Amino acid sequence: MSDSPLPPGSRIVIAGASGLIGSALARSLSAEGHEVVRLVRREPRSPDEIRWDPQRQRIDAVGLIGCAAVVNLAGAPVAGRPWTRAYKRMIRDSRVLGTATLAEAVASLDEPPRVFVNGSAIGFYGDTGDRAVDESAPPGAGFLPSVCVEWEEAAAPAQEAGVRTVFARTGLVVAREGGAWARLIPLFRAGLGGRMGNGRQYWSYIALHDEVAAIRHLVDTESLSGPVNLTAPDPLTNGEITDAMGRVLHRPTLLAAPAPLLRLALGDMAEDVLGSQRVLPTRLLESGFTFAFPSIEGALRAALG
């Protein structure tokens, strides 16, 4: 199979098009003349919207006819709310049921899309400590790894129907509009930023620009299927990232959030902040992808505009 970009005017369906990554991806595709179709949970208001109800696993599959690619980025936010039992169920169901709904709809089409890019996360690997891992590593233990495993397994109908299926295992996206950095940047600008816990845990990040470019690369690169890590090439520790934030924003970073305090404030979610994930984008690099912002300073400056 040869790798070739989608021709202009291709119909591309996006689930999660209102989120941080989905909205940036939709803008990028529209700017190059593609027809972006968004999945919505309400009555469609225009021809570029398709109704779906992932909780009940319902979708207007007719709207998928003629699409060249389906990109699924839907899922309840992991950060920002306490991980109660009910919210953990929502985190799981929003990903697993949504993926199953889309995968089954894609598999039912007489002419399925050429690719199904399904969101996933580096949470798949769990806490890796100082150990660097790539796509060949097994899943870790705990809540997020178990969610990621089910999330990816839910795409089986599309894979079994012969649709090229790629799992975009995304790291921490550096952007001021959303995600972790939407909370970190104001704190650091106010001089209230600092390391979290001992600062030795690895954070595997990616600039929003590179995240969007990487997803488009997954769509266009016909030799890629299965898991692909979307992270910058050189993961850094939380302490190193803290120092970089101080340099870029010209602010002191003397304050620190002790691990016990974070666990008290965040509950189960604290392990996502304090856990160490040293994840490498081996398959992305091997497939010829070039990062525009491989360093944390570059990613931060791109986020700050």
Classify residue 114: in a domain, yes or no.
Answer: yes
- Whether residue 248 contacts residue 188, with contact meaning beta carbons closer than 8 Å, is answered with no
CA dist., res. 195 & res. 225, Å (int): 37
Question: CB count, 10 Å around CB of 10?
Answer: 20
- From 237, 241, 173, select the one nearest 201 (Cα to Cα): 237
Classify residue 90: in a domain, yes or no.
Answer: yes
Classify residue 185: in a domain, yes or no.
Answer: no
Mean pLDDT by 10 residues, the chain (305 residues): 77 97 97 96 93 94 95 91 91 97 97 97 96 98 96 98 98 93 90 92 97 98 97 97 96 87 70 87 98 98 95
Supply the CATH number for residue 123's domain: 3.40.50.720
Classify residue 67: in a domain, yes or no.
Answer: yes
Classify residue 115: in a domain, yes or no.
Answer: yes
Q: How many domains does one find in the chain?
A: 1
Inter-axis angle of helices 208-220 and 20-31, nearest 10: 60
Classify residue 4: in a domain, yes or no.
Answer: no
Domain residue limits at 114 = 11-171+207-230+280-291
Which residues lie closer than 8 Å to 9 by C-beta, 6 or more apart?
33, 34, 35
Classify residue 81: in a domain, yes or no.
Answer: yes
Classify residue 92: in a domain, yes or no.
Answer: yes
pTM for this model (two decimals): 0.95
pLDDT at position 1, please?
40
